[in-house]
Amino acid sequence: MLSNISRFFMRRRNWTVPYALFLIIFVVMPLLLIVVYAFTDAEGAFTFANFRKFMMHPESINTFVYSIGIAVITTLVCLLLGYPAAYILSQKRFNTSQTMVVLFILPMWVNILIRTLATVALFDFLNLPLGEGALVFGMVYNFLPFMIYPIYNTLQKMDGSLIEAAQDLGATPVQVFGKVILPLSMPGIMSGVVMVFMPTVSTFAIAELLTMNNIKLFGTTVQENIYNGMWNYGAALSLIMLLLIGVTALFTNEDDSAQNESGGVI
């Protein structure tokens, strides 16, 4: 018996069994349940009524479009703030870069609800109104590290000889950045966009706390339907959101592959 177990674990491919079981139980099965509930009614009969209900309710569609807009704005702001920060941190002459990276990443170790409650307390202390501005600020504050780190990681691994070669060929700093640094950092940018856009478009707790429930995002709509026992309709909304996230990841992966094939040639 022990010898059979020993032989089983001596095969390296068998080490993947625990991970496969984890994926099946906590990833595949929940996704299958979402699909089943989305395409069935309360009696378990197959139907498209849940999706028709979404298409026939302008309020749900408006919430969906508004959530995408908030996610896009948050992603763009995080990119505009995160790229310069990642670029500065990646410079070798910046002697305290490792310490500064830890300071930027440190908020990721704190629970997102605690950070959001701290943001609410900050707005209350400054007598600033809670609303759409607070929502965008809170989104950026919570997800900015997810944009900085992948870009920093890509810039940190960039071959400096390529930059030196461009400078030797007479390229200006602007040309070096536009034709060498930016193209080579696109994988990090794409990873950061996905890591910010995906959680932003599906969040609900941040919107509830920073707008006093006055602004509803698509994640809030999903949460409310499931909380009220409307599992089928909530599953259909969840599936729509999953498809949106999947399409976003697909396009970013295609852009990443195209960039790698181009090789960032000047």
Going by pLDDT thresholds of 50, 70 and 90, the confidence category of residue 252 is: low
The C-alpha atoms of residue 234 and residue 40 are separated, in whole angstroms, by: 12
What is the rounded average pLDDT of the residues 103-117? 81
Residue in the structure block whose two tokens are 């536009």? 178
Most confident range, picked from 12-21, 67-76, 225-234: 67-76
Contact 189, 155 (CB under 8 A): no
What is the rounded average pLDDT of the residues 30-54? 92
**Dihedral Cα 75, 206, 69, 144, nearest 10 deg:** -10
The C-alpha atoms of residue 242 and residue 69 are separated, in whole angstroms, by: 17
Structural domains of the chain, ranges and CATH numbers in brackets: 56-215 (1.10.3720.10)
pLDDT at 20: 86
The C-alpha atoms of residue 207 and residue 25 are separated, in whole angstroms, by: 30
Q: How many CB atoms neighbour CB 112 within 10 A?
A: 16
Res 258 pLDDT > 60: no
The C-alpha atoms of residue 262 and residue 266 are separated, in whole angstroms, by: 10
Share of the chain above pLDDT 90, in %: 40
The C-alpha atoms of residue 16 and residue 257 are separated, in whole angstroms, by: 27
Nearby residues of 75 by Cβ (< 8 Å), 6 or more positions away: 147, 193, 196, 197, 200
User: What is the three-class DSSP state of 152?
Assistant: helix
pTM for the model = 0.82
Residue in the structure block whose two tokens are 């009969």? 45
Q: Is 124 exposed, middle or buried (0-12, 13-18, 19+ CB in 10 A)?
A: exposed
Q: Return the amino acid letter for 244.
A: L
